[in-house]
Chain A
Amino acid sequence: MTETKDRSSTRPIRVLIGKPGLDGHDRGAKVVARALRDAGMEVIYTGLHQTPEEIVEAALQEDVDVVGLSILSGAHNTLVPRVIELLRQQGMEDVQVMVGGIVPEEDAEQLRALGVVAVFGPGTETEEIVRFTRSCARGA
């Protein structure tokens, strides 16, 4: 059977940008969200003070390709593993997890070992984040 509908072949990459935990600084998260939008992606921004459970439920409902976690509180060693565990419980291993914030290199190493695809520290160029997000989004 031939394809009869005129379908658009470009499927926008969907990214959730969330801030788990208690720190109240979302400037970095907003800058990244804006840069991803300007690169043609659909960015679901969840706002401050989200629990890992809320972030994973939002990622599920929004069917995102990538979850970006912004953490400046130092609690990355508990929050990020929890998000990854919850994603696994939901069968969402195909969703890529990126972390942005202040993360010491030895912690970053551990997070990558858990399956985090990238840890972006202060001073990262937004172009790099855009490039990376595009390359790791499924179906991109």
Chain B
Amino acid sequence: MSLGEQILQGDRRALARALTLVENDLPQADEVIREVFGHTGRAIVVGITGAPGVGKSTLVDRLAGYFLAQGRQVGILAVDPSSPFSGGALLGDRVRMEGRGSGVFMRSLAARGHLGGLARATPRAIQLLEAAGKDLILLETVGAGQSEVDVMGYADTTIVVVVPGLGDDVQAFKAGILEIGDVFVVNKADRPGADQTMRELRQMLSLGPRLPWQPPVLAAKAQTGEGIEEIAAAILQHKESTERNPEMLQRHAREAERFLREALADRLVADAVARAKAADKWESLVDDVARRRKDPAWAARELAEGEGLQ
């Protein structure tokens, strides 16, 4: 039986191995994805982002427990940064997870130098979890700053987690992650300043455009489980809302063109580089750019046209 068939039958080891293939972008990854792609795109993907230490992992764990109890098949992808020096990574999100045995499938992904708060393999990892029957996927980003907004491109619903007392109210107006939330969670809500943080967030959101979906601001104490039910309800309401409102761009519509563009770019770049190398032109062009004899755009055009790429 092929790896793809094993995944479709729910073999957890096959799923784990396929995740390694897509993480390492090995040739067999293309084959597995080709086999299972028709079975993907079915899960609700929930992105959870926010600064380091706001309680993303704990929130993910509690949501996983909640949805598991509701009879859902839950998958978790948790991304942590790779060291820019060694390339290694310490993937510690499991520390916050309560043992749920084989009921929840969780995979830690190292960002491996990919910017934007996620790993490059994220879309394919989501597809593999979907193929394995997961219908609710929690996607936890690296501890995000203000511009790690990739998650909104991959998730049906993006949850932005903040804690009380993270800077003054001006922070709330900054572009970036505060613009991408479909649901806002003020975690550790028993801390001083929680009410003010919630007020500021609501005020910021009230200044935005009137959309069919107004992002709720919810208080939570993930540690004790308070607020989890409300967050889960908001996720499902948001899902319904996007389905009811055709003007709200849905994940699959946004994704399809991007996936195709990215795959095409990968393919064309690799082909062009391989042909230039075969013709012994690659090294000299790289050298021309390094010595500032040609700018990269000119060199690329020369390659693309010279190599007959239409």
List residues of chain A with CB under 8 Å of any chain B CB: 2-8, 10-12, 14, 33-34, 36-47, 50-51, 53-54, 57-58, 60-63, 90-92
- How many A-B contacts if CB must be within 8 Å? 104
Would you mind naming 27 contact pairs between A and B with Cβ atoms under 8 Å apart? A2-B274, A3-B27, A3-B274, A4-B271, A5-B267, A5-B270, A6-B269, A6-B270, A7-B27, A10-B87, A12-B88, A14-B20, A34-B90, A37-B83, A37-B86, A41-B88, A42-B82, A42-B88, A43-B89, A45-B94, A45-B95, A47-B94, A47-B95, A53-B99, A57-B102, A58-B106, A92-B13
Knowing A6-B270, A45-B94 touch, does A39 contact B86 (C-beta < 8 A)? yes
Bound-state Cα–Cα, A68 to B40, Å: 35
Closest to A13 in B: B88
A27: shortest Cβ distance to chain B, in Å?
A: 15
> Nearest Cβ in chain A — how far from B131, in angstroms?
15
What is the CB-to-nearest-CB distance from B89 to chain A, in angstroms, rounded to a whole number?
5
| A67→B106 CA distance, assembly (Å) | 17
* Least distance between A75 CB and chain B CB atoms (Å): 18
Could you tell me if B16 and A61 are in contact, using CB atoms closer than 8 angstroms?
yes
User: B12, A12: Cβ atoms under 8 Å?
Assistant: no
Given known A6-B273, A7-B27, A62-B108, contact A45–B88 (CB-CB < 8 A): no
Interchain CB contact under 8 A, B106 and A61: yes
Contacting residues, chain A, for B106 (C-beta < 8 A)? 58, 61
Determine which of B16, B90, B270 lies in contact with A63 in the assembled complex, contact meaning CB atoms within 8 Å: B16
B17 at the interface (CB under 8 A from A): yes
Within 8 A of A (CB), among B95-115: 95, 99, 101-102, 105-108, 110, 112
Assuming A5-B267, A90-B13, what are 12 further A-B pairs, CB within 8 angstroms?
Answer: A3-B27, A6-B270, A6-B274, A7-B24, A7-B26, A38-B88, A42-B91, A44-B91, A44-B94, A61-B16, A61-B107, A63-B20
CB-nearest residue of chain B to A90: B13
- Residue of B88, B105, B107, B266 near A5 (CB, 8 A) is B266
Within 8 A of A (CB), among B63-107: 82-83, 85-92, 94-95, 99, 101-102, 105-107
| B88 contacts A43, C-beta separation under 8 Å | yes
Q: Quick one: CB contact mask for B15-30 with A, threshold 8 Å, 1 for yes?
A: 0110110001111001
Residues of A within 8 A of B89 (CB): 12, 37, 42-43
Q: Which residues on the A side are within 8 Å of B17 (C-beta)?
A: 63
- Residues of the A chain whose Cβ atoms lie less than 8 Å from the Cβ of B25: 5, 7-8
A26 CB to closest chain B CB (Å) equals 10
Q: Which of A8, A60, A91 contacts B24 (CB 8 A)?
A: A8
For A60, list chain B residues within 8 Å (CB): 12-13, 16
A24 to chain B, nearest CB (A): 14
Closest 5 CB pairs of A and B: A47-B95, A37-B88, A63-B16, A6-B270, A40-B86
B19 → chain A closest CB, angstroms:
6
Instruction: State whether A4 touches B19 (Cβ < 8 A).
Output: no
Chain A residues positioned under 8 Å from B88 (CB to CB): 12, 36-43
| Least CB distance, B71 to chain A, in whole angstroms | 20
Cβ distance B114 to chain A, nearest Cβ, rounded Å: 12
Q: What residues of B have a CB within 8 angstroms of the CB of A14 in the complex?
A: 20
- Distance of A37 Cα from B106 Cα, bound (Å): 20
Taking a contact as CB atoms under 8 Å apart, the answer to whether B90 and A37 are in contact is yes
* CB-based nearest A residue for B104: A61
**Distance between Cα atoms of A115 and B210 in the complex (Å):** 64
Whether A45 and B19, one on each chain, are in contact in the complex, defined by CB atoms closer than 8 angstroms, is no
- Contact residues in A for B266 (Cβ distance below 8 Å): 5
A138 to chain B, nearest CB (A): 11
Tell me whether A58 and B12 are in contact (CB under 8 A).
no
A11 and B83: CB pair below 8 A? no
Which residues does chain A contribute within 8 Å of B267, judged by CB atoms? Answer: 4-5
Q: Is the CB of A12 within 8 A of B87?
A: yes
Q: Could you say which of A4, A12, A47 contacts B110, with CB atoms under 8 Å apart?
A: A12
